[in-house]
Amino acid sequence: MASEDVVGKSRGDTAVTTIVNLAEEAKLAREGVKGPGYQVLSICKSLFAGGVAGGVSRTAVAPLERMKILLQVQNPHSIKYNGTIQGLKYIWRTEGLRGLFKGNGTNCARIVPNSAVKFFSYEQASSGILWLYRQQTGNEDAQLSPLLRLGAGACAGIIAMSATYPMDMVRGRITVQTEKSPYQYRGMFHALGSVYREEGFRALYRGWLPSVIGVVPYVGLNFAVYESLKDWLLQTNPYDLGKDNELHVVTRLGCGAVAGTIGQTVAYPLDVIRRRMQMVGWNNAASIVTGEGKEALQYNGMIDAFRKTVRYEGVGALYKGLVPNSVKVVPSIAIAFVTYEFVQKVLGVEMRISD
């Protein structure tokens, strides 16, 4: 009984302490002082905002995303898709509306945690880099330069991409399979299990190296250009775009569009090579990869993939699918950034990308 009394008292004290702490944190928040719980809540809200931004943006352009991947990996000996419009019409005619969004569920499952980790990592990396920069320069008012933003964006991209790469790998395969494919992945988890059993753990990270290399110009430039454009517009206020020290949604969309276009153009060849490497070792692969009985190209690594692609298909093959990707990346990146900041504002998160 004594021990039970002690336990009960301990639990009661803990409950009281918790209530007191919450009350104290609420008081501190009203007075402008942030308690530990407030910081945790802000981090969770920031992660949620990043996830919503990624999911909304990718769903909006899912048909173009699938078209891009099909153009990237289709066997050169058996061409089914000759362009964006023809390809979308072909998918609609042969697979219907669902065909246009094939792989989108897996993409959303991947992009939500990917975007959440990416945006959150960028904020943390930016804060850390800015602190080190101010310590080294001795200038407490120093701000991040475009180069430092590029480093923070690259770090965030690599962390997020590595954490969710196996999901991206199987998403690529699910996207290219059709109803006539000899073997069907029934979903993301089935695909992950099948690849692991049949090809081994390393297969889940096939194409990881060109992805990491591509992250630096793609994600890094996205963040750096977007933030730099925002700061420049707010400081110079051309055409009264930075009224009341706040940019209009349309202006932020334009900044995101410019940032996305520059990033994707520089990194696109690496994206093509990554996607092709993900198809290597796929038993009973979709016909788009094998070419209706033709032998699919095999790659021994990133350099070999570059060499064979250029040798057999020309330099232009490194930009296959660039048109649908260019069309989709503008609204996709722009919507992601604007949605992220909008959700943060709605949730009352004080951590902002521009900080």
CA distance 263 to 154: 12
Backbone angles phi, psi at 54, to 5 degrees: -65, -45
Average pLDDT score over residue span 307-326: 91
Task: Give the total number of structural domains in the chain.
Answer: 3
| Residue 21: inside a domain | no
Looking at the chain, list the stretches that DSSP marks H as alpha helix, in order from N- to C-terminal side.
Answer: 2-30, 36-60, 62-73, 84-100, 104-137, 146-176, 188-199, 208-236, 249-279, 287-290, 302-313, 322-347
Q: Is the pLDDT of residue 22 over 50?
A: no
| Residue 19: inside a domain | no
| Residue 119: inside a domain | yes
CA distance 25 to 19: 10
206 exposed, middle or buried (CB, 10 Å; 0-12, 13-18, 19+)?
buried
Residue 136: give the domain boundaries: 79-169
Q: Is the pLDDT of residue 249 over 80?
A: no
State the pLDDT at residue 266: 85
| Residue 165: inside a domain | yes
> Would the pTM of this model clear 0.75, i.e. be above it?
no
Q: Structure tokens of 149?
A: 């933003």
Q: Which residues, at least 6 apart from 197, have a Cβ–Cβ distance to it below 8 Å? A: none
Residues 52 and 107 grouped into a single domain = no
State the pLDDT at residue 201: 93
pLDDT tens track for 45-94: 777 777 788 788 888 899 999 999 999 998 887 788 888 999 999 999 98
